[in-house]
Amino acid sequence: MILLLADTFRDWEARGRAACGTLFQPVTWGTAVWRGRQLRRAFAQARLVLGRRMYAAGIDDGWVGAQIASVDEQLAQARATGIATGPLEQERQRLLVRLADLALEDDAPLPGADAEYAAAREAQTCLARHDAAMAGHRSAS
């Protein structure tokens, strides 16, 4: 009799898990998508911080560094004349991120920006893991 009840309980438990899994699947998926957005923002922020630190430390490839210096001069002129600086600041951020992306392509030491490099690399790794898990989940569905 007890063995029969245990089998019945296992059956109910399996049915309950199947029903709840189906019921909560959209919530789980939504949470995973939200987490992906959070990781993308964190990676973008880490790249910007790395680019700023690299430029401040004088670590650049020459070409991107010269472009950033040119935009800095244009920003100074725009501020002096009272012209809107939004587009120039966006261009500067884009160039700083490009500088960070160049550093992340190579696994080379960055004296003066080691901590920022490590943070950006870790954010990149977390995002890659999340994207791989999401791709695996999509293909399993």
Contact 91, 64 (CB under 8 A): no
Residue 103's Cβ-count burial label (10 Å; 0-12, 13-18, 19+) is buried
| 26 lies in some domain | no
Within-domain flag for 116: yes
pLDDT, tens only, 45-58: 999 999 999 999 99
Report how many domains make up the chain: 1
* Three-state secondary-structure class, residue 32: helix
Determine contact, residues 120/47, Cβ cutoff 8 Å: yes
Domain membership flag for residue 109 = yes
Domain that holds residue 51: 38-140
So what's the pLDDT on residue 14?
A: 60
Residue 9 is assigned to a structural domain of this protein? no
**Average pLDDT of the chain to the nearest whole number:** 83
Q: What is the pTM of this model?
A: 0.77
pLDDT 10s digits, 27-41: 577 788 888 899 999
In a domain, 71, yes or no: yes
Q: Distance between CA 125 and CA 119 in Å, rounded? A: 10
Tell me, yes or no, whether 24 lies in a domain. Answer: no
The C-alpha R_g of the chain, in whole angstroms, comes to 25
Q: 1 pLDDT band (50/70/90 cuts)?
A: very low
Would 79 be classed as within a structural domain?
A: yes
Three-state DSSP state, 61: coil
**What sections of 1-141 are H helices per DSSP?**
2-57, 63-81, 86-105, 114-140
Strands (E), the chain: none
